[in-house]
Amino acid sequence: MNSQSLILQLISVSLLLSVPLVSPALQPAPGCPTKCGNVDVPFPFGTRPDCSLDDSFHVICNTSFNPPILYDRDAPEEALEILEISLDGQMKVGSLMAYGCFDKKWLPMDYQLYAPKFVISATRNKFVAVGCDTYAFIEGSEEKNYFTGCTAMCDKIDRVENGTCSGIGCCQMSFPKGVKGFRLSVHTYGNHTLVKDFNNCGYAFVIEQGSYHFSSSDLMGLRKRINDYFPVGLDWSVGNLTCEEAQKNDSSAYACRAINSECYNPSNGIGYNCKCLPGFQGNPYLVNGCRGTN
Ligand SMILES: *[C@@H]1O[C@H](CO)[C@@H](O)[C@H](O)[C@H]1NC(C)=O
Ligand SMILES: *[C@@H]1O[C@H](CO)[C@@H](O)[C@H](O)[C@H]1NC(C)=O
Ligand SMILES: *[C@@H]1O[C@H](CO)[C@@H](O)[C@H](O)[C@H]1NC(C)=O
Ligand SMILES: *[C@@H]1O[C@H](CO)[C@@H](O)[C@H](O)[C@H]1NC(C)=O
Ligand SMILES: *[C@@H]1O[C@H](CO)[C@@H](O)[C@H](O)[C@H]1NC(C)=O
């Protein structure tokens, strides 16, 4: 074999190795970061345009914080901090609360959260209001008309039952499907005048079910947490076609890339999700993502 044909052979081998099996946009570029600070960023999510499946999965890792902070979009004022992403179509973001306090006068502070690319989980979140002279509203923002609220009252602190949120000092409501954002507001009937010794503020927040256990100490104590994040569960899915449509009409854009993967339609929101077949685990969105477990 002369050197020319050896070179040709080497070139063709390297070409073979470098030809991707699928359109490159559907797989992350080599060397894509898979973490931002302490948060895993699995594909289809990516912190660079060539690392995410499409725009809706392009998330922002801001490394000027230590540890770096992951945001859902490039909009510093409104972006949501992502606390966790999991491959089962769920994620968690940080949300603040709305509150109102009567010090010398009634000073309410509303709170609004909007997740344009995702949908707020209808099954994993609760709307909660805490107070003894409090009613609070939640209103769907953008997309969907939705407006409701609940009232939390109590006359004596020893009537309040720890761990029970059913109207005495705390009320809660479940969350509807298809909501991408909400606005919270807190109101009072009588300025907390009759309960001010143990409760001078009302609070309202959305929080992942099971992450909040009401306690009488919150009637005063939640005021210290007005800058704290409450975890809110979001659902994510790919595109706006169902599994059947996506498989049928544009299979080159079909995101369930792993050989041992399958598609399913989410119960909340549009688009589809992928999962590894039983007996396999890993990332169904990557070509060789689903591996046998035995
Ligand atoms: C990161 O956060 C800082 C401080 O809020 C901000 O000034 C900067 O623009 C952000 N960088 C990116 C890439 O978003
Ligand atoms: C609540 O306080 C405001 C002043 O901030 C006052 O105008 C209003 O009458 C009070 N309402 C009640 C029911 O006490
Ligand atoms: C409820 O919990 C708070 C804080 O943990 C505690 O101070 C209070 O005594 C508890 N109340 C009852 C009735 O157990
Ligand atoms: C579905 O997604 C495509 C591509 O992102 C977009 O062009 C189209 O307008 C969307 N269709 C609907 C009905 O939302
Ligand atoms: C997929 O099919 C739907 C309905 O059958 C059609 O409206 C849409 O344009 C198709 N999309 C692509 C990318 O072929």
The values of phi and psi at residue 231, to 5°, are -75, 130
* Whole-number pLDDT of residue 77: 87
Does the beta carbon of 105 lie inside 6 Å of ligand 2? yes
Which residues make Cβ contacts (< 8 Å) with residue 172, sequence separation at least 6?
126, 127, 128, 129, 150, 165, 166
Residue nearest atom 13 of ligand 4, based on CA coordinates: 240
Q: What is the CA(76)–ligand 1 centre distance, in A?
A: 7
* Whole-number pLDDT of residue 204: 98
* Whole-number pLDDT of residue 18: 40
* Whole-number pLDDT of residue 145: 81
Q: What is the CA(75)–ligand 1 centre distance, in A?
A: 10
pLDDT tens-digit readout, 226-272:
999 999 999 999 999 999 999 886 667 899 999 999 999 998 888 99
Residue 39 near residue 83 (C-beta atoms within 8 A): yes
Residue 151 near residue 167 (C-beta atoms within 8 A): yes
* Whole-number pLDDT of residue 231: 98
Q: Which ligand is nearest to the CA of 143?
A: 4
Does the beta carbon of 143 lie inside 6 Å of ligand 4? no
Element (H, E) at 109: strand 106-109
Q: Which ligand is nearest to the CA of 190?
A: 2
75, 60, 148, 171: which is closest to 114 by C-alpha? 75
Residue nearest atom 11 of ligand 4, based on CA coordinates: 240
Residue nearest atom 9 of ligand 4, based on CA coordinates: 240
* Whole-number pLDDT of residue 269: 80
Low-confidence ranges of the chain (pLDDT < 50): 1, 6-24
Residue 190 near residue 249 (C-beta atoms within 8 A): no
Report d(CA 255, CA 284) in Å as an integer. 8
Residue nearest atom 10 of ligand 2, based on CA coordinates: 191
163, 160, 111, 93: which is closest to 131 by C-alpha? 160
Q: What is the CA(130)–ligand 3 centre distance, in A?
A: 15
131, 114, 118, 173: which is closest to 149 by C-alpha? 173
Report d(CA 294, CA 291) in Å as an integer. 9
118, 174, 171, 111: which is closest to 143 by C-alpha? 118
Whether the full predicted model's pTM is greater than 0.85, yes or no, is yes
